[in-house]
Structure 1
Amino acid sequence: MNIQPRKIQANTSRIIRAIEAEAWMDMLNAAPPSVRKQLGIETFRSDNACFLACRELPAVPFNRGFAIGPQWSANEREMAEGLRWLDRNASKTWVIQVDEDGFNASSAALSRMGIIQKDSGWIKFFSKTVPHIVPNEPRIEIADGGRKATDFANVINAGYGFPTATFEWFKALANRDRWTCYVAYVDEEPCAAGAAFVGSAGAWFGIDATLVTARGKGLQSAVIVRRLRDVGDKGAVIAMAETGRPATVDSPLGTSFRNYQRAGFEVQHYSANFARDPNVPRSATPVLMM
């Protein structure tokens, strides 16, 4: 399998960024007020970037910033505003994601602010929403309320090891407009889950989780294909997803990567993660002095 991105198409990358920003901001805004307060959930949009914070849930996807367009790195005042917002609101594990398009300019500007590359980051996929068929597709239900919404939230919490507070959040997400949440069952037991958001620019797939006891049964792949069919029926012509970037295609961390490729998703670009340089005193970085 190929883990190299295709030649970057600027228009597709812009669409992916727009879909991602709309979906993630709506996901965080779906949290009930009590959960927002307990977990410290906040969102922020500047002119050219999106920022997410979930202070008491120190997971990178919920504590990060990413540019919607390359103009962000050209405006150091706007960059500094976003980084200060993350310092005030996000977990200390926050990152800034920098895409290949405009990577050099963004990384240079961040370096001047004491922000350096942390790891290889994420892969951004896209797919045209064409119909797929899965032989012997497992039982997959839409979590449209009641017990199914409870099953969805339970699988997400157990699959990711999230704190109890997130249960009500993901249960609420299952009933939110523009979201469709799915649960896959094995012998009547909820074992895998995933969500799809249909926004103005296309569809976003994520929150994929499979319980340890049910892995290797093709459940994630089946949920991916089901979502492709459903969002196509709702008028979306493109869907995007994101996974961690595996070191090799055989890496244990590459399971989701391989499942999305098998379902027809193509790599569009990489997004590297940048974080504060631990060797630079925060008081010495320009971002905190602007």
Structure 2
Amino acid sequence: LFLSGKMTRPILELADVARKIAWMDFTSRYTGKREDEIGVLGTSINTISEELSRTITDLKQANEEIKNQMAVQKKFMASVSHEFKTPVALIRGYAEALTIKGDTATSAQIIIREADRLDRLVSDIMAVIKMETHVLPIEVRMQELGPFLAGVASRFETQALEKKAKLRITADPAIEIEIDSDRMTQVMDNLLSNAIRFVPENGKIMIRASKSEQQVRIEVENEGDPIPEEHIANLFTPFYRVDDSRSRKSGGTGLGLAVAKGIVTAHNGTCGVNNTSTGVCFWLEIPMHSDK
């Protein structure tokens, strides 16, 4: 009888552990110290329980991540739909106006501006896709930085005037830098459109460029409200927006800054943002000479 109990107790314990595993309870373990077949079986059941527990925990975490990604994608699609509809509606409206009234210059200017806005949005989406696949090609060549910045800024003069904002450039005329001008134009477009979006009426937007040893620093600063400190660390994350309602009202998909960071990184550079005494300053630093 004693031997019978000695044999059945560990078997019953194993059966109890196995039953709990079947009910997704992985807290129980076989505690026997036997070194025979029953002991080996108990050790195996404990290992299976631990592995199943880890696997299910990982699956739950992955499921939550998928849910979060789906929520982000839904938000992104809603933002993109909104962003596309606005310029398309404006283009259509002003194109119709061209056929019935004589103010063609103003209407044409607005059509061009909104077409540029659509082009930036499509470029940002394509850049994000390439960044996700770790393929963001750049083709660099030597550029005079002053004329390059002036050319980019000239495309935003009309928008600045609409807000009665002053757009100023301060750049060392001697700076030359190896960059992909198309990609870097995309960076500056995003930084400037962001600055114009949040600069107050009669405010100032400053573009500054300077060099230090083999680095070039470009700053885009706008007067206006500061960015809450708790949001700064996430600003360059794809689809991240400080305030959905504010972004929806003023425009923005949460892609522009992420794209800017990806392009700057492809140039072996860094970028960031900090609040100033009068507003917000986005900056980037890239080597004067590329290794691409």
TM-score by length of 2: 0.28
Per residue, is there more strand in 1 or in 2?
A: 1
Per residue, is there more helix in 1 or in 2?
A: 2
TM-score by length of 1: 0.28
Structure of greater Rg: 2
Higher relative CO (Cα under 8 Å, sequence separation at least 6) belongs to 1
